[in-house]
Structures are given as C-alpha cells and as structure tokens.
DNA sequence: AGGAGGATTACCATTGAGCGGTAATCCTGA
DNA sequence: TCAGGATTACCGCTCAATGGTAATCCTCCT
C-alpha cells in the first residue's frame, strides 16, 4: 500500500480527510482541507473530486465542501450502532421522562467511552457528553461500568498506565480503582459525584448482549447536590434490562454462567 | 482513475463495500462480502485488510467483519446531520411527549426523503419510517413538504417522471400534485391520510435554515381514524419554529424576501 | 480419523492510476 | 484595477494496486 511519497495509502488519506471535519468544522474550502490534512495541494483536489463524484463529500453553493449525506446514510445504515440505538431509544425515552436530566448511552472503544446516543440536553447542569464524543474511562460513571465488566487482561493494561486526575474525587490509584470496580460489579451500578466536572454527578448501569457480555452503559447526569441520587438507580436498571432484552439477552444464564473476569 | 480491469476507483470500491452492509446485514464474512460486491476475491481481501488496519472495518471474534466504530464516529462527528439532529431533538422530545406517536425528521436527498431522526416507535400503528431509511417524496407528508418548498426547476423535473400509486389516496397526477403543493406552501403543513400505508396518516411541517430555505421536514404519524389529526398541527409548527431558530433562522425576512419558487 | 467444501492467505508478473510538481486561470474583496 | 488566495489544467514518472493461480487453514460431517 501507499503510492505516495510519504508512504500513505489512499484509505489512510481518506481517513485524514474525513477526520479533518468535526462538530466545530463541518465545512471548509478544499485548500483549507489540504492545509488541515497536510496533503499536497494537487493530491487533495484530486482526491476530493473523486469523493465528490461518489457523493461521499458534497459541495455547497459557496464552494465549501462537507461530508456527504450519502456517506452518513451508508455508514449509519450499515453500522451496528443503529441497532443498538434502536433498541435503546424507547427505554431511554422512558428514563428521560422520569429523571428529566440528560440520559446517555456509551460504549467502550479505544480505551475511552464513546457516546452513541443522548437525550435531553439540560442546560441547567453541566454535562460535557456529546454524541460521537469521547471521555476517559476512569473519570465517568459510564466508563467505570464498562471497565468494570471488561476482561481482566484489559483492566490490567488499562490500570497500568498513568491516569489523569480531573477533580478531587477522580480515582487514579490502581488499587483503589480495582476495589471500586469490584464494588460496581457487585452493586450493579456506578455512581460518581463530580468525577470530571465538580457540579454534576453521573449514575451508570450496564447493558448486556445475548452472550451476556456488556455491550454498553446507560447513564444519567444529575446535579451533584441532589439529595438521593441513588434513588435513580432502579429506574436505570429496569431500563437497562429492557434494552438488554431487546438485544436478545435472556437474563443471567444460571447454568452456563461465564465470567468475564 | 481506476487501476482495476473493470475501471473502478478505489473510492468506488470502498463505496461498494460499505454499501454491502445494511440494517439486515450488519456483519458478514469477507468471502460473502466479495460475493455481494462482485469484486475479485483477492482484491476484496486486500481492501478489507487495508480498511481493518485503519479501523474503518472491524473483525469480530467469529471472523465476520462489520463497519467499524471509528467509521461511525468520524462520519457522525463531522457530518452536518449531527448539528441538525442536536438542534431538533429537544423539540422533537416535546412533540413526542404531547402527541405520543412517532415523530420523525427528514431531509430531501436524491429525490427521496431521508429520515435522519425518529422518536417513539409506536408499535400500535403502522409506521415504516426508519432512521437512515428512504421513502418517495410524493407519497409521504414529509416528502410533500420538502417538495413543496424545493426550487421550481426541481419540482418540474420531479413531476415529469412517472410516480408510483401506493394507495387510493396517493396523488400521482402532476397537475393535482402541483395544486396540492401550492396548498401546502400556503397552509404551512402537509396532512396525508394513508399515502403509503392505508391505516396511518402523516402530518408534516417545514423547518427553515438561516437563509430561509427549507432544511428539513418535521412530522408525526398518527392512526388514520383519529378524529381531528389537524389538531396536531399547531404543536408541530411551534416545534418546527423552535428548531429553525436553533439553526439560526430569524423569522421570515420581511425586507429581502427571497422566493424559492 | 479422514475428507469435502468453503474461507483465507501467499505468491507474483504486469501496468496504469495515483502522484505531485509547475503554471495557468478563476474568483473575490479592497 | 490589482493582489492574493482558491481552483483547475497539464504531464512524465513510478510503484501500489491488481487479480489470477495455488497453497493453506478451518469446520463440519461421516
């Protein structure tokens, strides 16, 4: 692979181009795209034109380009995210209706929580989760739930590296974290007051797939000063079980119980 | 472009590969992917491996591959769909809370309505809209709204081709449709009883962008036998204005009113 | 154990698609 | 009118991509 002087494949360059767009920069001129990606000018134009031809990119009246509707459609339709989302949404709506604060669904990807769905952006409390946004595992309730149910080998390697301490309550000490993860597995939920942002706290529970492994974490963000945040747990758990069942989960398998840790 | 014997570019093949996945087939073996795309075996394997390397595709334990989380993330984050969705969701939740049936948001793409968001899949009524799914313009309330506010030239070319008659009430006669579109523009909403599915009817209103053009259609699907479906219109309209404003729309421009038809 | 059938990888000669430089042209605002 | 950036046009070089054949792996089934 790599026809280029720099040794990159077209696929690699495609990724560079798509990556140049984010929620802050959804459209830009081709020249600017070239600058952002660092690709040679001519190459950028040629590649962009190829992508325009396939409708993976689109040119707007002003001349700026943006990610094409076709690309969004193809990826959304073929991705497993949609299935998960479809299964989760009705239950998330229920949670949202009762809890009133923002409800999110996150998965484990590349050592971080990737939020794939979110309902109810409540401006009154601080909530930095965004759809298609990422946050560190050890500093979010969703992340802790996902980490707690990940394979032991994975936990080990994750806990081996240095962890950023965002606020006073962020746990970074491996041994303390381990104990906390065990607790999360046992209680079935994670409740973290102000782990990233001091003013808000998150509560998260696991969502299971047919093979009884954890697929996602369902969580709500509430103001930290709320009296008994733990009262939210049953609602979340019920919803998570509903989602799990919609995914094909059949309750905890009594006979062939398989531990992931 | 096209190094291949068949004269396809890599980008084209990339599209073929991604297109091979849909909501019914979210994962498959590489060999099957080759069959579905019609690409030469070796080529399929090489390309898939390149894509796996970039994490645009992912291999699951069984060996099957599926669209990668990275791909979903990159496209979602960079796409304008997210912005539209973020703006619309809070209002859609409100509509959903009041109307109780399913609420959808659709845009015009490739002569069809592409649904980009949907809340409340009510199993009690028939509703064939899916996220990232498509339906014909002339047979859905959303589509009619979008068509009604499209440029005149576009309407002409669209109405020039033969239109499928799905049920008794589907309008296919160009002149009748034109009159109906005018009516929709004037009243500000489209209400179609059983245009695709006889048992349900849809109501849709336009969502405007900063330049006062129509960006999307907000709609609800209700049972056809509901007494006064038209009573839903004000709620929808209020929500649509809210979304429009969130997109930067500043009310109908009195001075420099620009007609799109 | 053996073997059939599919999935996957290894190998390799051929070639044209991608590459990226330079230069011309278009566009926009001052 | 002019300046500076964005975009397109042109072009020779070359190696990455191609896709055939064949070997290997893997999974059931008998």
pLDDT in tens, B230-239: 778 999 999 9
A217 and A136 within one domain? yes
β-bridge mates for residue A58, sequence order: A66
> Which pLDDT score, from 0 to 100, does residue A259 have?
44
B214 and B192 within one domain? yes
A99 and A62 within one domain? no
Q: Which residues of B touch A50 (CB under 8 A)?
A: 1, 9, 11
A30 and A151 within one domain? no
Q: Is B125 on the interface with A (CB under 8 A)?
A: no
- Map residue A117 onto helix, strand or coil: strand
> Which pLDDT score, from 0 to 100, does residue B100 have?
80
> Which pLDDT score, from 0 to 100, does residue A168 have?
84
Give the span between the Cα atoms of A177 and A150, in whole angstroms: 14
Give the span between the Cα atoms of A213 and A209, in whole angstroms: 6
Give the span between the Cα atoms of B214 and B198, in whole angstroms: 28
Residue with tokens 């949907």: B118
- Specify the DSSP class assigned to residue A209: -
Judge whether B133 and B256 are in contact, CB under 8 Å. no
Structural domain count of chain A: 2
> Which pLDDT score, from 0 to 100, does residue B255 have?
43
Judge whether B10 and B18 are in contact, CB under 8 Å. no
Residue A177 to chain B, least CA–CA distance (Å): 27
> Which pLDDT score, from 0 to 100, does residue B260 have?
45
Whether B2 shows a pLDDT value over 60: the answer reads: no
> Which pLDDT score, from 0 to 100, does residue A216 have?
98
For strand D, is any atom closer than 7 Å to the CB of A94? no
* Mean predicted lDDT score pLDDT of chain B: 88
What CATH number is associated with residue A45?
Answer: 1.10.10.10
Whether B118 shows a pLDDT value over 60: the answer reads: yes
B237 and B118 within one domain? yes
Q: Which residues of A touch B107 (CB under 8 A)?
A: 69
B206 and B99 within one domain? yes
Do strands A190-193 and B214-223 pair parallel, antiparallel, or not at all (unpaired)? unpaired
Whether B151 shows a pLDDT value over 50: the answer reads: yes
Whether B258 shows a pLDDT value over 50: the answer reads: no
Q: Is A161 on the interface with B (CB under 8 A)?
A: no
Among B107, B133, B17, B126, CA closest to A82: B133
Give the span between the Cα atoms of B136 and A100, in whole angstroms: 36
| Distance in angstroms between the alpha carbons of the first and the last residue of chain B | 39
Residue B181 to chain A, least CA–CA distance (Å): 25
Do strands B134-136 and B27-28 pair parallel, antiparallel, or not at all (unpaired)? unpaired
From B75, B105, B128, give the residue that closes a domain: B75
H helix or E strand, kind and range, residue A180? helix A174-187
Quick check: is A259 in a domain?
Answer: no
For strand D, is any atom closer than 7 Å to the CB of A41? yes
State which residue of chain B sits closest to A122, comparing Cα positions.
B90
Residues with Cβ < 8 Å from B153, sequence gap 6 or more?
none
Q: Which residues of A touch B18 (CB under 8 A)?
A: 74-75, 78
B126 and B68 within one domain? no
Give the residue-averaged pLDDT of B187-202: 83
Q: Which residues of B touch A53 (CB under 8 A)?
A: 11
> Which pLDDT score, from 0 to 100, does residue B256 have?
42
> Which pLDDT score, from 0 to 100, does residue B183 have?
96
> Which pLDDT score, from 0 to 100, does residue A92 have?
95
Whether B227 shows a pLDDT value over 50: the answer reads: yes
Whether B194 shows a pLDDT value over 80: the answer reads: no
Q: Exposed (0-12), middle (13-18) or buried (19+): which is B188, by Cβ within 10 Å?
A: middle
Residue with tokens 């606020």: A167
Whether B65 shows a pLDDT value over 90: the answer reads: yes
Quick check: is A254 in a domain?
Answer: no
Q: What are phi and psi of A197, to 5 degrees?
A: -110, 125
Q: What are phi and psi of A107, to 5 degrees?
A: -125, 165
B240 and B132 within one domain? yes
- pLDDT per residue as tens digits for the range B239-252: 999 999 999 998 77
Quick check: is A200 in a domain?
Answer: yes
A195/C26 CA-to-C1' distance in Å: 54
> Which pLDDT score, from 0 to 100, does residue A198 have?
75
In this complex, the residue with its CA at the shortest distance from the C1' of nucleotide D9 is A42
Give the nucleotide at minimum CA-to-C1' distance from B10.
D17
Chain-centre distance for alpha carbon B77: 18
Quick check: is B60 in a domain?
Answer: yes
State which residue of chain B sits closest to A74, comparing Cα positions.
B19
Judge whether A101 and A222 are in contact, CB under 8 Å. yes
Is B23 in contact with A50 (Cβ distance < 8 A)?
Answer: no
For testing the chain A interface, which of B75, B88, B122 should be mutated: the one with the most A CBs within 10 Å? B75
Q: Which residues of A touch B86 (CB under 8 A)?
A: 121, 131
- pLDDT per residue as tens digits for the range A109-155: 999 999 999 998 766 667 778 899 999 999 999 999 999 999 999 99
Residues with Cβ < 8 Å from A161, sequence gap 6 or more?
none
B138 and B19 within one domain? no
> Which pLDDT score, from 0 to 100, does residue B14 have?
94
| % of residues, chain B, pLDDT over 90 | 67
B95 and B58 within one domain? no
Is A79 in contact with B121 (Cβ distance < 8 A)?
Answer: no
Q: Which two tokens stand for residue B197?
A: 């599915």
Which structural domain, as residue segments, surrounds residue A43? 10-75
Give the residue-averaged pLDDT of B38-67: 92
Whether B84 shows a pLDDT value over 50: the answer reads: yes
> Which pLDDT score, from 0 to 100, does residue B168 have?
84
Q: Is B260 on the interface with A (CB under 8 A)?
A: no
Give the nucleotide at minimum CA-to-C1' distance from A5.
C19
B123 and B234 within one domain? yes
In this complex, the residue with its CA at the shortest distance from the C1' of nucleotide D14 is A3
Q: What are phi and psi of B71, to 5 degrees?
A: -65, -50
B8/D7 CA-to-C1' distance in Å: 25
pLDDT band at B19 (very low <50, low <70, confident <90, very high): very high
From A18, A40, A75, give the residue that closes a domain: A75
Give the span between the Cα atoms of A251 and A135, in whole angstroms: 29
B206 and B140 within one domain? yes
Chain-centre distance for alpha carbon A43: 33
pLDDT band at B3 (very low <50, low <70, confident <90, very high): low
State which residue of chain A sits closest to B72, comparing Cα positions.
A75
List, for chain A, all residue ranges whose pLDDT scores fall below the cut of 70. 1-7, 122-125, 194-195, 226-229, 253-261
> Which pLDDT score, from 0 to 100, does residue B216 have?
98
From A49, A75, A101, give the residue that closes a domain: A75
Which DSSP string do the residues of B23-75 spell out, in sequence order? SS-SEE-HHHHHHHHT--HHHHHHHHHHHHHTTSEEE-TTS-EEE-HHHHHHH
Give the span between the Cα atoms of B66 and B56, in whole angstroms: 9
């Amino acid at each position: 692979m790599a026809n280029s002087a720099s040794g990159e494949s077209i696929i690699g360059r495609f990724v560079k181009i798509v990556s140049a767009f984010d929620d802050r920069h959804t459209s830009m001129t081709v020249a600017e795209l070239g600058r952002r990606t660092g690709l040679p000018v001519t190459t950028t134009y040629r590649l962009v034109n190829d992508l325009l031809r396939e409708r993976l990119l689109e040119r707007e009246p002003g001349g700026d380009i943006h990610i094409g509707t076709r690309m969004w459609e193809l990826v959304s339709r073929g991705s497993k995210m949609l299935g998960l989302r479809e299964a989760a949404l009705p239950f998330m709506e229920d949670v949202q209706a009762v809890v009133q604060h923002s409800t999110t669904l996150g998965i484990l990807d590349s050592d971080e929580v990737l939020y794939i769905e979110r309902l109810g952006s409540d401006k009154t409390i601080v909530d930095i989760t965004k759809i298609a946004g990422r946050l560190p595992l050890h500093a979010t309730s969703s992340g802790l739930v996902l980490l707690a149910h990940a394979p032991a080998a994975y936990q080990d390697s994750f806990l081996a590296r240095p962890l950023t301490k965002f606020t006073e309550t962020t746990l970074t000490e491996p041994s303390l974290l381990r104990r906390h993860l065990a607790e999360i597995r046992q209680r079935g939920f994670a409740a973290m007051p102000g782990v990233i942002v001091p003013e808000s706290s998150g509560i998260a529970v696991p969502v299971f797939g047919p093979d009884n492994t954890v697929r996602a974490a369902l969580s709500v963000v509430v103001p930290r000063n709320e009296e008994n945040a733990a009262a939210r747990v049953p609602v979340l758990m019920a919803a998570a079980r509903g989602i799990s069942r919609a995914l094909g989960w059949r309750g905890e398998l009594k006979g062939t119980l398989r531990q992931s840790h």
